[in-house]
Structure 1
Amino acid sequence: MALTFPSAPPPALREFGYWMHRYRRVWRGTVVVSVVNPLLFLAAMGVGLGKLVDHGGSGYLHGASYLTFFAPGLLAAAAMQNAFVDSAGPAFQSARKRGNYRAAAATPMRPADVFAGHLLFMAFRIAISALAFVIVIVATGAVPWRHSPLLLPAALLTGLAFAAPIAAWAITVTQFARINGVFRFVLMPLYMFSGTFYSTEQLPGWLRSVIECTPLYHGIQLCRELALGTATPAATGVHIGYLVAMTTAGFLLGRRTYTRYLHS
């Protein structure tokens, strides 16, 4: 009788397992950046400033409280920030001469598998951070529980729309200062002007047209419309289509850049 052995897991899952092994040792240090900071910001802006905004009765909130308006926007913005933290720096460091990407590429594992496995871990990190955020905003009454189930996949898709292209780019970077520059001059302006804190309807038409071309805008609008219960099939389809296109483009680009730079 022939003996049969279980097949080995796909290469991408082995790379994912490596990152999970590392994460089990350092997860406590990531809680502050991924969860605590956004929640403190939610309390300060949504509750503190929110009382002043609600007292003024802004028409741009469409009858919602500022906390209800602000919370889903911050959820999407936090997903973007977490995606950057878990993709840019780790991909840059892992691609250095003594990095784990180089070690993995020296095995039968393909660079595309290395990228896919790491991207799976990024998705995991974005998802658990978003889950903690969703639980808090539902528990505090910022968002009705009946509107919450779709917030997690919306936040995850928003994060992946950043994580995939950023990782695909970060592996090509030779100086860490460039990564800091992208955070300061790209991500922070998106954070401030994509509608996280206020409705983009208040902005000039030309600026609003520019903002509507950014992935964070679509992530914020998707999360906010789902949270407020104002989502329509047409608008939701546009937001999801944009974010899926960004994720797909980043994944395809990453397969090329990882193959090019890990085989060089």
Structure 2
Amino acid sequence: MIKALSAAAATATLLTSQAAAAPAVRPEAPAWVIAPGADGCRTELELTGDGVAVPAALVSNGDDVDLVFAKPDAPERAFLPIRIDHKPFANLVMREADGKTAAMRLSAETLSALRKGGVLQIGWLADAPVQIGLAGSEQALADLRVCGAQVAQRFRDRQAAQQAAQERADAQARAQALADEQLAVVKAQKEAAEAEAQRSAAETERLRAAAEADRQRAQAEAEQQAQADSYPYRRARTYPDDPRDDYAPDPYQNDQTYQPQYPYRRW
């Protein structure tokens, strides 16, 4: 038994020494092209494996660096490892709002390993493990964070300016609405006052006309009463015509001397 264990140990030692002696083939490193976006910067990656190529990107806003990749079946939240030079580094993975992509927020320890490492390996990103070389990653990560900080600051400034402009517009709209409301109240009060003045004037005119009619009626009645008091036996002027007015005039009412129609005969 002891001889068998010793032989197995010797064989393992030989295989390990042979693997160490064999030259390691490093995957090709990306070009590390930094591209500004709306609120950060990104550099595109392509991880390759056994006949597969998976696109990904490193994205930074100056404060954080995320590894973004397409994975529709990614869980809403997960804590998954990546390997840098075969050493695992676990980080938080969260599914994006579009439901098709996910982002891994890289810790400070992971970023330090990326700057100094030679190969990034991910076993769960595709059906087969994929990897990418990290030659030039130290300068690329520094440039990515500088670009992300500048773009993010401009994005925040632009958002602040837009928010301030929106607040000013909202304040002006509220002031205009208040002014319009006050103007409408004043206009309504003025129209109500004018309507009340018109009603008052109409009522005054009606009362004046009624008073004038009462005065005229009283005056007419007084005149009639005065005439009745002055001529108690005379017909009132308002009576209808007396039919006796059509009789022949009384000859004795004339001032002329009455002349009979036929003179008296002498006897």
Common topology (TM > 0.5): no
Higher helix share goes to which structure?
Answer: 1
Q: Larger relative CO (CA 8 A, sep 6+): 1 or 2?
A: 1
Q: Which has the larger radius of gyration?
A: 2
Higher strand share goes to which structure?
Answer: 2
TM-score by length of structure 1 reads 0.19
TM-score by length of structure 2 reads 0.19
